[in-house]
């Protein structure tokens, strides 16, 4: 008989209880004891949900107060010196200090977990790095579940992935060389788990779906050889993609089980069966990365093929990866209409899908469940709400000419200079201005109905006008309207586009206590009517200076949403691009002379495998160009990207062919700009000269210095002067002070001093 398994359950709670508790603890209004108790309450609840659903392999140690990578760092006692010496086990204060920093010790770095929007705390390795058992969380949580009568399969982040995700702080340190130092700690944890009664553990090595170096492969062999014989059987989990060229390696490792992501890479099931293995195979058939209901008939076919060749006794049915990346429970979505709701599945529902599939495979009578699933899948396939023939036809008719501006950059540059008449080193900002408590209150009041549409509109107009007057007084050259009407740069557009839906409680952990509620793209996307034109036109009517229209780009809108899974992402992105294209054209027609299309998420969309980069970059760049290209030569297209490593994607950035790109560089002391210089980036650039992530006001001299540095890398006539990013999290006093210095710095360079 096959069994139903799970790899991880969301830890935040259906109502973000974990966020509430952790933030209260940080503020000092919740005691350590109460925080601990709240964690235990959530774990117990989640274990019971899984047990009651019929999951046999239930994970433990998938819970975390902040992040599972940080938990592993704590387990290995790898506490950087600045957070104080490790006495006994890592204390809660030390743990949170590593994540968030203290006034004396900057936080550890944070970055995105593979290709998800979840962020982990990056392990740090220094010269002479020592390790020792610093937390027994995996054992404690196993025992905690056991005391509730629930036998679990503890989850550990594998040693090779943990080391590969870490960063050496001293150049001399090779992270992988630390493997022998951490394996004894993993071994000790496994021994203790064995003694506590664990028969299986899940060891996550998602690094297996990436391009591995020889050293990483060797490290995986060494690690598995050392850990496999200790006692608990190991379910080695790969996810987020195909094992591909690492498949033979994965099969050769001496683990009792192997988990495969068959949502991202369904074909690898056949490859594994053809290769032949006596491992228990965990088939990741239910999408742990998206919110759509599975096509159970299709999944069952795959499962049956595997069971036939391999024997059902050695099959587990599971989600493709941990359910950490989907919202907790669809039951809370009381406002979604019936159709849409019947197409969706959140973590709790995905457990049911796993169990139904397992039971079907085992020959149990689940005909009613399968029929109901088939009906929902079929209704989605043909629904008119999803399929808009006009949108599909327009997208199919796109030609290369639609991706291309009328003239090359040099011609556009002259035309724009004549129309815009800007000084050298033109100054501008990235879009948003401070979203003060007052702005947020007005938005909340409006949402609740306490402020009328007209009242809210009048308020926003006053804010916008005041913001324009301040920019004029500061002497900025190209203005923005301030984005006061926007809650979020994706949600604002999603709410106005057809094919989009929003959830009430569809929260997903982004990092620590921070959760995001990504909108859902469920159908063909189109723009029923202009989205930003009225605001931009109103703003432009108040000033003679050029007002920059402000849009979010198609790739970023795609990247920060849950995307439909019934067509390629590239196709959905193209539909969004066409909607943005119409907006760009309408802004131009309304007299707007410059339009900024933000694409901060271009880089994070890169596939995990290098071989797939080109394919992605081709359609992503095409989508941007499609959105940016309907305009005249003398209309200036800007784009903006936040902190990014640009070095390996420079050709794509240049191919976007924006007239002006603003990037985040101030913290790297213009180092990031060098990549543009070395590449001989052909168009104009605004390297950020003010780090807007901190309330600190940089002096005129400091910014002049940064600009001079920039001018040594990029020809002065192609340099713009701006902050690193939008100003919505800043207060007005520091904003005005910093912008005053920024304008003064630009003037200093114009004078040539």
**Least distance from C-beta 596 to ligand GLN, angstroms?**
7
Q: Decide: is 265 part of the binding site for ligand GLN (CB under 6 A).
A: no
Closer CB to ligand GLN, 11 or 640, in the complex: 640
444-457 burial string, b = 16+ CB within 10 Å, else e? eebeeeebeeeebe
Q: In what order do the strands lie in the sheet with 684-687?
A: 548-552, 594-598, 636-641, 660-663, 684-687
Q: Which of 600, 630, 688, 698 binds ligand GLN (CB under 6 A)?
A: 600
Q: Which is nearer to ligand GLN, 675 or 725 (CB)?
A: 725
Q: Which residues are catalytic?
A: 693
In DSSP terms, 514 is beta-bridged to 511
Q: Are strands 200-204 and 152-157 parallel, antiparallel or unpaired?
A: parallel
> Tokens at residue 279, please?
């491992």
DSSP 8-state assignment for residue 246: G
Is 728 near ligand GLN (CB under 6 A)?
yes
Which residues contribute to the annotated binding site for L-homocysteine?
430-432, 483, 598
Q: Which range, of 278-286, 441-449, 722-730, 743-751, touches ligand GLN by CB under 6 A?
A: 722-730
Residue nearest to ligand GLN (CB): 726
Query: Is 727 a residue that touches Zn ion (CB under 5 A)?
Result: no
3-state SS, 534-600, equals HHHHHHHHCCCCCEEEEEECHHHHHHCCEECCCCCHHHHHHHHHHHHHHHHHHHHHCCCCEEEEECC
Within the chain, how many helices (H) and strands (E) appear?
27, 22
**Which residues are known binding-site members for Zn(2+)?**
640, 642, 664, 725
Nearest CB to ligand GLN, comparing residues 111 and 618? 111
Between 50 and 552, whose beta carbon lies closer to ligand GLN? 552
**Does 642 help bind ligand GLN (rule: CB under 6 A)?**
yes
For residue 243, the partner it binds in ligand GLN, Zn ion, none, with Cβ less than 5 to 8 A by kind, is none
Q: Which helix (H) or strand (E) element contains residue 60?
A: strand 58-60
Write the CA distances from 410 to 43, 121, 141, 405, 414, integer angstroms.
61, 44, 63, 12, 7
Judged by CB under 5 A, the residue of 57, 725, 727, 749 near Zn ion is: 725
Please calculate the CA angle 225-228-231 and round it to the nearest 5 degrees. Answer: 150
Judged by beta carbon distances under 5 to 8 A according to partner kind, the member of ligand GLN, Zn ion, none in contact with residue 481 is none
Q: Which stretch binds ligand GLN (CB under 6 A): 188-196, 396-404, 424-432, 606-614?
A: 424-432
7 binds, among Zn ion, ligand GLN, none (CB under 5 to 8 A by kind): none
Report the C-alpha dihedral over residues 82, 88, 89, 90, rounded to 10 degrees: -20
Q: Which does 550 bind (CB under 5 to 8 A by kind): Zn ion, ligand GLN, none?
A: ligand GLN
- The CA distance from 198 to 194, in Å, is 5
The token pair that represents 397 in the structure block? 């008719």
Q: Does 642 engage in binding with Zn ion (CB under 5 A)?
A: yes
Binding mask 545-564 for ligand GLN (x = CB under 6 A): -----x--------------
Please state the closest distance from residue 156 (CB atom) to Zn ion, in A: 36
Kindly state whether residue 598 participates in binding ligand GLN, applying the rule CB under 6 A. Answer: yes
Is residue 725 involved in binding ligand GLN (CB under 6 A)?
Answer: yes
Say whether residue 640 binds ligand GLN (CB under 6 A).
yes
Alpha-carbon span 518 to 508, nearest angstrom: 8
Q: Would you tell me how many other CB atoms lie within 10 Å of the CB of residue 686?
A: 28
489 contacts ligand GLN (rule: CB under 6 A): yes
3-state helix, strand, coil in the chain (%, to 5): 50, 15, 35
**Residue 580 interacting with ligand GLN (CB under 6 A):** no
Q: How far is the CB of 753 from Zn ion (least distance, A)?
A: 30
Closest CA to 143 of 60, 48, 47: 60
Compare residues 232 and 434 and give the one whose CB is closer to ligand GLN: 434
Binding mask 173-192 for Zn ion (x = CB under 5 A): --------------------
Question: Which residues inside 254-293 make contact with Zn ion, applying CB under 5 A?
Answer: none
The alpha-carbon radius of gyration of the chain (Å, integer) is 27
Interface residues toward ligand GLN, by CB under 6 A: 430-432, 483, 489, 550, 598, 600, 640, 642, 725-726, 728
Interface residues toward Zn ion, by CB under 5 A: 642, 725
């Amino acid at each position: 008989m096959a069994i139903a398994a799970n790899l991880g359950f969301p830890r935040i709670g259906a109502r973000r209880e974990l966020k509430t508790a952790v933030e209260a603890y940080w503020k000092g209004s919740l005691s350590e004891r109460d925080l601990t108790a709240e964690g235990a309450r959530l774990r117990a609840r989640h274990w019971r949900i899984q047990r009651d659903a019929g999951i046999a392999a239930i994970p433990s140690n998938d819970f975390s107060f902040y992040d599972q990578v940080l938990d592993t760092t704590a387990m290995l006692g790898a506490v950087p010196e600045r957070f104080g010496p490790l006495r006994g086990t890592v204390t809660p204060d030390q743990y949170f200090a590593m994540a968030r920093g203290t006034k004396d010790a900057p936080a550890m770095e944070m970055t995105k977990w593979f290709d998800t929007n979840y962020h982990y705390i990056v392990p740090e390795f220094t010269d002479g790095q020592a390790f020792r058992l610093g937390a027994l969380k995996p054992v404690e949580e196993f025992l905690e579940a056991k005391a509730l009568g629930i036998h679990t399969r503890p989850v550990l982040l594998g040693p090779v992935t943990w080391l590969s995700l870490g960063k050496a702080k001293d150049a001399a340190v090779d992270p992988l060389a630390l493997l022998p130092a951490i394996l004894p700690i993993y071994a000790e944890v496994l021994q203790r788990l064995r003694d506590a009664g664990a028969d299986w553990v899940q060891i996550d090595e998602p690094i297996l779906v990436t391009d591995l170096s020889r050293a990483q492969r060797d490290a995986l062999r060494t690690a598995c050889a050392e850990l496999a014989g200790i006692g608990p059987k190991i379910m080695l989990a790969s996810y987020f993609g195909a094992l591909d060229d690492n498949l033979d390696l994965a099969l050769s490792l001496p683990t009792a089980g192997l988990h495969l992501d068959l949502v991202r890479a369904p074909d690898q099931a056949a490859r594994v069966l053809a290769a032949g293995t006596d491992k228990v195979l965990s088939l990741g058939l239910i999408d742990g990365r998206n919110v759509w209901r599975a096509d159970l008939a299709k999944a069952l076919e795959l499962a049956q093929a595997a069971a036939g060749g391999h024997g059902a006794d050695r099959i587990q049915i599971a989600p493709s990866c941990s359910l950490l990346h989907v919202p907790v429970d669809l039951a809370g979505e009381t406002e979604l209409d019936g159709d849409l709701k019947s197409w969706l599945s959140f973590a709790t529902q995905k457990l049911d899908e796993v169990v139904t599939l397992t039971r079907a495979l085992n020959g149990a009578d689940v005909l009613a469940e399968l029929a109901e699933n088939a009906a929902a899948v079929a209704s989605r396939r043909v629904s008119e709400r999803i399929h808009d023939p006009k949108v599909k036809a327009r997208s199919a008719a796109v030609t290369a000419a639609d991706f291309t501006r009328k003239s090359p950059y040099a011609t556009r540059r002259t035309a724009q200079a004549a129309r815009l008449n800007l000084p050298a080193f033109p100054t501008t900002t990235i879009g948003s201005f401070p979203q003060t408590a007052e702005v947020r209150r007005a938005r909340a009041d409006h949402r609740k109905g306490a402020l009328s549409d007209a009242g809210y509109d009048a308020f926003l107009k006053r804010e916008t006008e005041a913001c324009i007057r301040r920019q004029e007084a500061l002497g900025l050259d190209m203005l923005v309207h301030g984005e006061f009407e926007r809650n979020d740069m994706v949600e604002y557009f999603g709410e106005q586009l057809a094919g989009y839906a929003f959830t009430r409680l569809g929260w997903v952990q982004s990092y620590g206590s921070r959760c995001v509620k990504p909108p859902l793209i469920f159908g063909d996307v189109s723009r029923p009517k202009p989205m930003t034109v009225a605001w931009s036109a109103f703003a432009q009517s108040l000033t003679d200076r050029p007002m920059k229209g402000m849009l979010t780009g198609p790739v970023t809108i795609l990247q920060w949403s849950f995307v439909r899974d019934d067509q390629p992402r590239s196709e959905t992105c193209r539909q969004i691009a066409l909607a943005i294209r119409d907006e760009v054209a309408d802004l131009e027609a309304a007299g707007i002379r410059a339009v900024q299309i933000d694409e901060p998420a271009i880089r994070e969309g890169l596939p995990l495998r290098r071989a797939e980069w080109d394919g992605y970059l081709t359609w992503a760049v095409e989508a941007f160009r499609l959105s940016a290209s309907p305009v005249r030569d003398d209309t200036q297209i800007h784009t903006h990207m936040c902190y990014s490593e640009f070095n390996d994607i420079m050709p794509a950035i240049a191919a976007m062919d924006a007239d002006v790109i603003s990037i985040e560089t101030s913290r790297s002391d213009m180092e990031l700009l060098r990549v543009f210089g070395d590449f001989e980036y052909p168009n104009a650039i605004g390297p950020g000269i003010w780090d807007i992530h901190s309330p600190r006001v940089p002096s005129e001299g400091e910014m002049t210095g940064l600009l001079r540095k920039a001018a040594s890398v990029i020809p002065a006539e192609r340099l713009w002067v701006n902050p690193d990013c939008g100003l919505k999290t800043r207060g007005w006093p520091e904003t005005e002070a910093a912008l005053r210095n920024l304008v003064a710095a630009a003037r200093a360079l114009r004078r040539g001093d």
